[in-house]
Homo-oligomer: A and B are copies of this chain.
Amino acid sequence: MGELTRPLEQPLARHPRVVIVGGGFAGLHAAKGLARLPVDITVVDRRNHYTFQPLLYQVALAVLSPADIAQPIRTILRRQQNTQVLMDEVVGIDPAARRVALVSGAQLPYDYLVLATGATHSYFGRDDWAPFAPGLKTIEDATEIRRRVLLAFELAERQMVEHGWHPPLNFVVIGAGPTGVELAGAISDIAQLYMRHDFRHIDPAKARVLLLEGSPRVLGAYPEDLSAKAEAALGRLGVEVHTLTHVTGIGPGWVEMAGKRIEAVVTLWAAGVEASPLGRLLGTPLDRRGSVLVDERLNPPGLPDVFVLGDLAHVEQDGHQVPGVAQPAMQMGDHVARMLAADLAGRPRPAFRYFDKGDMATIGRMDAVAKVEWPFKAHMSGFPAWATWLIVHIFFLIGFRNRLSVFAAWIWTYFTFTRGARLITGDQRLPGWQDQIEAGPGEVAKKLKSKTV
């Protein structure tokens, strides 16, 4: 195992060492908030890039390119003299010795540790579903979903040309939170508006988009009137919403719900998230999703020098859990900087309080719902909500170049009805497709039903 090394130790003899693990919303806000303090910061992330997750679904549905919403973490922090960036993965934490172990073998000492590694999708113990129903958390996930959705249309066209029929184009999205709603709306968009003129033999508008949700309504975290508006908007887009529907099985080319199996050319998973496994390394109490229970100063019990932020943290406020979305993550990052400034000044650390400005989700082209809490309180829907969504998301993109290129891509897409990034790269097969075409027309449902799960 590694040694402590000179390049790190020399400056750190003077300034407190802050190790920030995770370069997402929370980690980057913490790093930027500490820019002018006399601390030595190391941001560790196993990826070289920050990803603007709220727009990942637009990469998955070929509106944007990966580079439009992602940027190297070291480029974002290049002008920040007290900060270095390390592309590496943390595999151990020793709170007593105050150091983290890296997968590359070295140990990184800290005076303050900030953990902000977020969440990943959870299949509720059914990890065998993962190959058949990818989730959406990374750039790789997004290009994999893009590959599957675009390939489904290509394979159906090929099958039509060569054999005069094709298996049904059912796109199944599991989970109707914001990501599920956005994915379902965007698939319906791409089928109805954008791909209509490109294919000669299939009718992309005949693609079915099914949105399955176990709870009684879509966007369960939103007020009921907005859930109803979102469901109506999805209906107008042709998305078939099935609430109170529990998925009991997923396999190559099919989804099973309450014993009934339907064919699915592409299945996407937006049903559950769990915290990054890093939280477990602390040895402090976790909640059901694996998030670290922290107090109002974002510390786990008994570890005042460790801060846990963003989706990895479970913070209670007024009897409710602060939600795992972008805004609280950014605010927690800012807050850690304020607390360390207090430490350095010998003042007591202020308590964290989440200031909720609202929440919003798009539903296809030019429609959205928004619960606005600040600067005024309102429930918005339709075009005004969508326009607000647009402005807010452009504003929060990091980097002028990304703002410019995303804005240009949107203008282009919304005016020309074509998408800019419709590339299929990598493998050219879809799980289950071959089974379905070998079963033949009309035989597919029968054959699928006779299979055991």
Interface residues of chain A, those whose CB is within 8 Å of chain B, are 2-3, 5-8, 42, 46-49, 65-68, 70-72, 74-75, 78-79, 84-88, 102, 104-106, 108, 139-140, 143, 150-151, 154-155, 157-164, 197-201, 401, 404-405, 408, 412, 416, 418, 420-426, 428
Contact = CB atoms under 8 A, between A and B. Distances in A.
A305 to B, nearest CB: 21
Contacts of A143: 425
Contacts of A66: 65, 421, 423, 425
B160 A7 contact: yes
B423 A161 contact: no
Contacts of A418: 75, 401
A57 to B, nearest CB: 16
Given A75-B198, A164-B6, A405-B408, A158 B88 contact: yes
B46 A164 contact: no
A200 B74 CA distance: 10
Sort A-B residue pairs by CB-CB distance and give the 4 closest, nearest first: A106-B162, A67-B421, A87-B154, A65-B65
Contact of A84 (B70, B74, B161): B161
A325 to B, nearest CB: 24
Copies of this chain? 2
Question: Considering residues A49, A86, A162, A421, which has the most beta carbons from chain B within 10 angstroms of its beta carbon?
Answer: A162
Given A48-B424, A65-B67, A423-B48, A199 B163 contact: no
14 contacts: A5-B163, A48-B422, A48-B423, A67-B421, A72-B198, A75-B422, A78-B198, A84-B200, A87-B154, A102-B162, A104-B159, A139-B423, A139-B425, A405-B408
Contact of A423 (B3, B70, B78): B70
Contacts of A6: 164
A360 B424 CA distance: 30
A100 to B, nearest CB: 12
Contacts of A2: 162-163
Contacts of A200: 84-85
A418 B400 CA distance: 12
Contact of A7 (B88, B164, B420): B164
Contact of A48 (B3, B79, B104, B154): B154
A2 B151 CA distance: 21
A72 B164 contact: no
Given A84-B200, A408-B405, A67 B139 contact: no
Given A104-B158, A201-B7, A401 B405 contact: no
Contacts of A140: 425-426
A26 B3 CA distance: 58
Contact of A420 (B67, B108, B420): B67
A157 B47 contact: no
Given A65-B67, A198-B72, A428 B162 contact: no
A159 B163 CA distance: 56
Contacts of A65: 65-68, 421
A5 B74 contact: no
A70 B143 CA distance: 15
A425 B408 CA distance: 24
A41 to B, nearest CB: 11
Question: By CB atoms of chain B within 10 A, which of A42, A72, A79, A85 has the most?
Answer: A72
A88 B428 CA distance: 9
A66 B146 CA distance: 14
A129 B421 CA distance: 32
